[in-house]
Amino acid sequence: MELLSTNVSFDGEHRRYRHTSATLECTMEFAVYLPPIAVGPDPQKVPALWWLSGLTCNDQNFMQKAGAQKKAAELGMAIICPDTSPRGVNLPGEDDSYDFGSGAGFYINATQQPWAPHYRMHDYVVKELSQLVESELALTGKRSISGHSMGGHGALICALRNPGRYVSVSAFAPIAHPTKCPWGEKAFKGYLGDNPAGWEEWDATLLIPEADERLPLLIDQGTADDFLESQLNPEALVEACVQHSHPINLRMRSGYDHSYFFIASFIDDHLNHHAAALGLS
Our CB check for a copy of itself shows the closer of 180 and 253 to be 253
Helix (H) or strand (E) holding 78: strand 78-81
Closest CA to 83 of 53, 43, 38: 53
Q: Are the CB atoms for 28 and 21 separated by under 8 Å? A: yes
Residues from 5 through 34 that contact a copy of itself (CB under 8 A): 7-11, 14
Q: DSSP letters of 241-278?
A: HHHTT--EEEEEETT--SSHHHHHHHHHHHHHHHHHHT
Three-state SS for 201? helix
Three-state SS for 72? helix
Our CB check for a copy of itself shows the closer of 20 and 223 to be 223
Instruction: Report the distance separating Cα 69 and Cα 31, nearest Å.
Output: 13
Residue 60-99 contact track with a copy of itself, rule CB under 8 A, x = bound: ----xx-x-xx-----------------------------
Min CB(126)–a copy of itself separation in Å: 28
Min CB(10)–a copy of itself separation in Å: 5
Three-state SS for 129? helix
The yes-or-no answer on residue 203 being catalytic is no
Q: Are the CB atoms for 160 and 126 separated by under 8 Å? A: no
Helices and strands per DSSP (H, E), number in the chain = 9, 9
Min CB(139)–a copy of itself separation in Å: 21
> Which listed residue (225, 246, 270, 274) is catalytic?
225
Closest CA to 55 of 19, 86, 99: 99
Instruction: Report the distance separating Cα 213 and Cα 201, nearest Å.
Output: 16
Parallel, antiparallel or unpaired: strands 168-172 and 217-222: parallel
Count of other CB atoms within 10 angstroms of residue 198: 15
Residues from 36 through 65 that contact a copy of itself (CB under 8 A): 64-65
The yes-or-no answer on residue 42 being catalytic is no
User: How many chain residues interact with a copy of itself (CB under 8 A)?
Assistant: 23
Our CB check for a copy of itself shows the closer of 67 and 216 to be 67
Our CB check for a copy of itself shows the closer of 23 and 69 to be 69
Our CB check for a copy of itself shows the closer of 7 and 135 to be 7
Min CB(265)–a copy of itself separation in Å: 5
Residues from 212 through 271 that contact a copy of itself (CB under 8 A): 222, 224, 255-257, 259-262, 264-265, 268
> Which listed residue (14, 177, 258, 274) is catalytic?
258
Our CB check for a copy of itself shows the closer of 177 and 270 to be 270
Min CB(11)–a copy of itself separation in Å: 8
The yes-or-no answer on residue 254 being catalytic is no
Which residues are paired to 34 by β-bridges?
13
Min CB(22)–a copy of itself separation in Å: 31
Interface contacts to a copy of itself, rule CB under 8 A: 7-11, 14, 64-65, 67, 69-70, 222, 224, 255-257, 259-262, 264-265, 268
Q: Which residues are tagged catalytic?
A: 149, 225, 258
